[in-house]
Chains A and B, each alone.
Chain A
């Protein structure tokens, strides 16, 4: 009998030693980007740090990508950084993605970060919305000296007032866009979509989220009845030449960072690469006629993509502050966390261990959601309709004032604060916005403070 008890005791001990799920509260909440891809810097340079653990060679490639990202390009032919234009929106990556962060919602100036996508109804062979004859899929509003830009963008705002229950008011501004001085007539059925340059850190982690995880969040027909759908977009991968799950871009129509980077070089700067070897203005009178394609060396495009993959996420701040804790709970209670998923696990990434199998806090599901007519661009983008936008990641948003001055939010930068951005939510997010608006002043402040801690 004695032996039996001993045996049971040993058995129990053994059972106690079995691996248990790690307690959710035991994770360090500051680690937004996981163990090696989180950086402790809350200054203006917070978005510009490489992930830890890169080997010497990768470290060099990151550095080359960093330099290329910052370089100004000049008109071809030139001994250094040749290939700008002939038409473009800006002269370097950093001009729009200021400090690797967000941009300024103006167009046609040296510090502008807003561009206008163009289309007419219909789809092309890849399933993308049809581009406009003589203009392509994007309005290039600047040109090298002597080349006429496709047009200029006029942005005007109309103010409206939102009033909370206790009487506090917030002024929102709704933009309207007009294209002035087009170099040739624009079609009557033209569709416009304004896009503000988003921040570029943490992208490698987002790229490392397993497709199964993202699809697991999707609920296109809202079968669980919570009012939140979540729809996957599928865009064209110009490298693999097939449709793939979209993760990047404001409508989640870009499958990976390489396509996104090459697309930006091509459309935003007029620089050809191996993915897009034909000038954006080919067939237009502004074409330079030079046979210098691709203008950007393959290695440099790859280095820029690698640089973007290996930028760390800034750590959260003041995570134990009771008010911020309260805000964190309210974020969940009001329903924000239904789309802005606080915690996601990345998959295995053999190439970059820092991104591999990490518990990250991106606050996105990378899916499309109907945000209502007030935010609609009334234009399709692969499977996205006008009302649908990708849930943007919220990590780092509390630092935008330091990295970018006025922190402009939403796809077109109409919101000048986190609060304004919340108040623009509609469609599927209408209910959550209403819950937010019913909170007391101190609860709202707690929620905003939580968001500022990201």
Chain B
């Protein structure tokens, strides 16, 4: 009987907790739903694309300086500019929807692998390598990776003096092409007919997102998508085949940093924290389910930190003994995070954001 009483009390207590209004009332929660979306649009997505545009300008200027004065210091500056821009781009891949997807900015700037045959014949030709020529080239001759190949060579063995005049012209105009793509991508978000309005007016006049739930699901699917792409594609494919040839960004040795930045992009979106910390998905989740929020935040942090254990170049780390244990641990952390996003965060959105 005593046991029964205790059980009953626990049940009643649990019941009363269940009946208690959640930590925020519905009106606050409704406002929060709008704030999170507005903050994501203005201070995560657009802010990231602004930085990407700035990064492209910096890279372009650094390449001009390298052309004017081909010294090692200028080569180092250009490499840093490439990596900085790359860092922003990889973070932006946590929200690969909207114009970046619909208007092909992703393949136009970030196609892999390098096409050595075509690049060699291009550089050996008399093609003027102008920006309009580049726009007409196949995707593998555009974007980040041909620039990376010329700037870094194999793991940075390229010297400033060894870069030919043709290579410099090609690189500089590639960077102009990149700049143009970044500028157009930003404009697609902020100049009429601006995509940002579709995001902010989801469920309230947007023709793409008829319900708020749709933009939230789009965002969450973006997070799940990049988590899967890194853990089950970018890392796993070379890991399984032990083939350094299929690792992305091998010339700069930047692959692990690329992967980590992808997951930092998840954190930016989830926390609503890119440069300014504002309302994010974490606030929405915490308002209804604090333990789920804790779980997601912990798993994101664990995944991000796990990359630091991979200290070798990724293309070396996959070859036994390399650092296969560390890589497996990171892939496991990503699998855990993906499962939580897919089986807990997504249902949370479906349950609590119905309008």
Contacts and interface: CB of A to CB of B under 8 A. Distances in A.
B107 A77 contact: no
B214 to A, nearest CB: 6
Of the listed residues A41, A75, A84, A402, the one surrounded by the most CB atoms of chain B closer than 10 A to its CB is: A75
Contact of A63 (B103, B140, B232): B232
Interface stretch (A6-14, A42-50, A258-266): A42-50
B102 A80 contact: no
Contact of A42 (B107, B114, B117, B217): B217
A314 to B, nearest CB: 12
Given A74-B140, A146-B125, A41 B221 contact: yes
A307 to B, nearest CB: 13
B354 to A, nearest CB: 13
Interface in A50-107: 63, 67, 72, 74-81, 84, 91-92, 94-95, 98-99
Contact of B117 (A44, A72, A144, A401): A144
A78 B104 contact: no
B205 interface: no
Interface residues of B, number: 36
Interface string A96-121: 00110000000000110000000000
B107 A95 contact: yes
A146 B137 CA distance: 11
B245 A79 contact: yes
A411 to B, nearest CB: 22
Contacts of B102: 404-405
A142 interface: yes
B138 A84 contact: yes
30 contacts: A41-B221, A42-B217, A43-B97, A43-B221, A44-B97, A44-B218, A45-B221, A45-B225, A67-B237, A72-B139, A74-B116, A74-B117, A74-B140, A75-B117, A77-B117, A80-B113, A80-B246, A91-B139, A92-B107, A92-B139, A98-B104, A110-B138, A111-B107, A142-B138, A144-B118, A144-B138, A145-B118, A145-B141, A401-B208, A402-B218
Nearest to B216: A43
A98 to B, nearest CB: 8
B112 interface: yes
Q: Which of the four size classes fits the interface of chain A?
A: 20 to 34
Given A75-B115, A91-B111, 15 more contacts: A43-B218, A72-B139, A74-B116, A74-B118, A78-B116, A79-B245, A80-B113, A84-B138, A91-B138, A94-B107, A145-B118, A145-B125, A145-B127, A145-B141, A146-B121
B165 to A, nearest CB: 19
Of the listed residues B114, B138, B139, B208, the one surrounded by the most CB atoms of chain A closer than 10 A to its CB is: B138
Contacts of A41: 217, 221
Interface of B is mostly: helix
Nearest to A63: B232
Interface of A: 41-45, 63, 67, 72, 74-81, 84, 91-92, 94-95, 98-99, 110-111, 142, 144-146, 401-402, 404-405
Contact of A405 (B103, B107, B115, B138): B103
B122 interface: yes
A303 to B, nearest CB: 13
A74 B114 CA distance: 8
A145 B121 contact: yes
Contact of A43 (B127, B137, B140, B214): B214
A83 B226 CA distance: 28
Contacts of A95: 107, 139
Interface string B81-120: 0000000000000000100011110011001111111100
Nearest to A74: B115
Interface in B184-234: 207-208, 214, 217-218, 221, 225, 232-233
Contacts of B232: 63
B231 to A, nearest CB: 12
Contacts of A75: 115, 117-118
Nearest to B123: A145
A72 B208 CA distance: 29
A56 to B, nearest CB: 13
Of the listed residues B140, B141, B207, the one surrounded by the most CB atoms of chain A closer than 10 A to its CB is: B140
B109 to A, nearest CB: 11
A92 B116 CA distance: 17
Nearest to B111: A72
A422 to B, nearest CB: 19
Of the listed residues B117, B125, B207, B221, the one surrounded by the most CB atoms of chain A closer than 10 A to its CB is: B117
B233 A110 contact: no
B217 A72 contact: no
A51 B18 CA distance: 37
Contacts of B225: 45
Interface in B108-163: 108, 111-118, 121-122, 125, 127, 137-141
A42 B214 contact: yes
| The 6 A-B residue pairs with the shortest CB-CB distance in the complex, in nearest-first order | A74-B115, A405-B102, A75-B117, A111-B104, A43-B218, A80-B113
A74 B101 contact: no
Contacts of A110: 104, 107-108, 138-139
A79 B241 CA distance: 14
A74 B113 contact: yes
Of the listed residues B107, B121, B218, the one surrounded by the most CB atoms of chain A closer than 10 A to its CB is: B107
Contacts of A111: 103-104, 107
B307 to A, nearest CB: 22
A77 B138 CA distance: 16
A42 B214 CA distance: 7
A76 B117 contact: yes
Contacts of B101: 44, 99
Contacts of A80: 113, 245-246
B117 A78 contact: yes
A71 B163 CA distance: 29
Nearest to A318: B210
A99 B221 CA distance: 14
A374 B245 CA distance: 51
B68 to A, nearest CB: 28
Contacts of B125: 145-146
A74 to B, nearest CB: 4
A81 B138 contact: no
Contacts of A43: 97, 214, 217-218, 221
A414 B122 CA distance: 36
A80 B114 CA distance: 9
A72 B140 contact: yes
Given A78-B115, A81-B113, A67 B140 contact: no
A145 B122 contact: yes
Contacts of B118: 74-75, 144-145
A94 B214 CA distance: 24
Contact of A78 (B113, B127, B217, B221): B113
Contacts of A77: 117
A77 B120 CA distance: 12
Contacts of B112: 72
A80 B112 CA distance: 10
A402 B237 CA distance: 29
Of the listed residues A43, A77, A401, the one surrounded by the most CB atoms of chain B closer than 10 A to its CB is: A43
Contacts of A91: 111, 138-140
A92 B139 CA distance: 10
